[in-house]
Structure 1
Amino acid sequence: MLRIYGSSHRFCDGVTRRDFLQIGAFGAGLTLADLLRLRQASAASTRQSPRSHKAAIMIYLPGGPSHMDMYDLKPNAPAEYRGEFKPIPTNVPGVQICEHFPLQAKMWDKLAAIRSIVSVDEHSDSLVMTGYPERVNMVANHPSFGSVISKLRSATSANVPPFVSLRGMSRGTEPGYLGIAHRPFTPGGPGNANLRLANGVTLDRLHDRRTLLASFDTLRRDIDASGTMSGMDSYTEKAIEMVTSGVVRDALDLSKEDPKVRERYKGVEQFLTARRLIEAGVGCVTLSIGGWDTHGKNFETLKRQLPKVDQGIANLIQDLHDRGLDQDVVTIMWGEFGRTPRINRDAGRDHWAPVMSALIAGGGLKMGQMVGSSTEKGERPKDRPCTVQQVLATIYLALGIDPAMTFPNGSGRPVHLLDDREPIRELLG
């Protein structure tokens, strides 16, 4: 059994969720060529493909960020609700956000927020990554958003993986019934070794190994007259090309970026890595920043973390605009739920599923607005309540993917990507 570890998070339920992937006996033997072969076989049954240049960046805030202290401040609420932070105006008249988001405030015409999302009380990224809570996914195995993109891009991806997770692996990033071929590539895991030549192996030695491989293949062709080996050779060639081309390896190497740009992203380098991966042709990148399970010292924690989020978002979105990618790349940032409007005795906020907020940008969606609102004390949606699935349906549409499309599950039964497929019309314009 191979266990690939990612980042770890300890939440209030006492369980340390170290993101990991366990691969059984067959999976442990998979080579890069095997994965490419699996993806090609999987893509053969795909009925629809999005425009190849469309892409998504999904930023996950693990633990549940406080909606009351980011994009949905309540300055007129009683002190035990409104908290310590003050709202500031943005460059869009009538729109205010947290004082610790000054960079976003200056560019709100390039951003939008949804403030009336109804969630579930569950410490898991499964809901926002798949549209279904973990208790459902443990049985139904719905695929993650990135795995769907991988499924639809498998036939067109050449030297880059279609789905990259910079935050390791979790149930939420799993491909479910789409199959192992659509798990994300995780640069922090052993899979990263597939992007470089082994220690001491030069290109000349690699050529010798290819020659040796060809000789074995010739022998096997004599045994296997069915033509299967000629098909396998093409996947071996693709695997070698992915290693030697260095496209993804270069994207992950931030030393190749302009030093002035690296300075802008100092402390939030994952945002820069995500941008570089998207430019390299990756279809979906997920990342995370900070820990947001703030049952105590909520404001002390957010004073440290919100400026980092502001820095990362502002630089990422501005760079996408400067590179002409803002219409093709959709970015979303959210956590699993909001936090209690009333501050507790430990200066913290507890879990609050009735309403949460999400930031969204790009993808040709209508920016410079706030969609929906919560009640005066931030307790529940006041107008325009929406579900996580509706947000995901909107993102799928921005990528040219029909959220009503179906894939066969493990039993061969066609299953829709989402049950609630009504998009957020205000964002579609």
Structure 2
Amino acid sequence: MMIYVLEFLLLFSGICCGVLSIGRLQDESSEKFAAWAAAAGFAGLLCFFNNSGKSAAVTAAALLAVILVISKFLYHLDWKLLLCCGCSYLSVLLLTDVLSYLILCRYFSVPLVYWLVFLLLCRVPFYFALFASHRFQECISNFSNYYTSIYGTPAVAFCGISILLHMAFAGRPLDTLTIVTIVMLSALFLRIVLAYSHIKYQREKELLDTIEMQKELLEQNYAAVNKAYSQNAKLFHDFHRHLEVIHQMADRYHAPELSQYIDSIISPVQNISSMVWTGSQTVDYIINSRYEKAKNAGIRMEMNIEYPYNTNIKSNDLCTILSNLLDNALEAAAIQSRKTSPDTCSINLTIRRIQNILVIKLENSSPEPKYTSDGELVTVKKENEPMLHGWGMKNIEAAVQKYDGILQTAYADHIFQTTITMCFEGIEMDSPES
């Protein structure tokens, strides 16, 4: 009679905790009484079924079926998710049972009733840890996101452990059971490693997809902002001119308060109108950053730019051409300003398209350059500071030649002029939504 009571308690606790652990997927707590009542009824039936001469593997399968049916009735979850959680839970439970049975009953010949008492005592802290651990809740939540592709692993583990349970209670030799246990645990370990690797791969793939989506959103946002600024660039520029005219009229008609007000608002308008928005991030960054450098150095820089951003000209080639050109111009203008005055030095950049030809023209103040016998520019050093008309120009030539382009230079009246023409092909681009 004692054995029947212990079996009932073990089956009851196993069913009840299995159902409640599945319920934690939905954070269900209002159905506990229903789960306990159903678990008690099915535990009595399984206890009678287990003592009617049926094998332990059949009893384990019946126990799984009971947990799945009750959980489906209470929580209405997907069958694959129920199978995945139920098999995982019972695999851990039954593996503990069979290993403790082999060690205590088969190896040390402990009476069956003491083994049942040992199991009952061991399950109390196990169940407490199962439901009190927040880490367990996180594992269940993460595990449930990938059950459609890995539910086979806990199902295979349950089948293997059920067979081992049947062999243990059928009285197979202990040596045979030891070998089967080692083989089964090794296979189970490999299967779990594969499932974990799959979950890790899925997470990394989701992370990459999220990063790619964020990148696309950032590009779309930049394109939208760029379109808005480019559409208003001419308006800002013209508004700046209109303010200058109004300022002159205010001075003419002796309206000092109006002049002061115009002076207070003209500065931010000048800053906005000086920004370049071409549609190409590379072009925008290089030109605007060099404009700031020229402004800080007291060098006047004027720009007249109409850049066709939907071309096959690569960003790295544009970076090479424009950055080297403007850095050369800034360095040369700075050297010339030390000889004359910063007010007399300037940089003029023009970018235009003529059908499928891109024209880049740069004029900057510069001391007279020197050439080799082959007609190449020679780097001129002044106080250990090189003018960047050396390797920079060679890099520009290499980038220009990729697009069947031509680079020409000229010098007159302290002005160094560089003209670049490149052929390009238009490419289709989705117009950004405004």
- TM-score per shorter chain, which class? under 0.3
Which is richer in strand?
1
Q: TM-score, normalised by structure 1?
A: 0.18
Q: Which entry has the higher C-alpha Rg, 1 or 2?
A: 2
TM-score normalised to the size of structure 2?
0.18
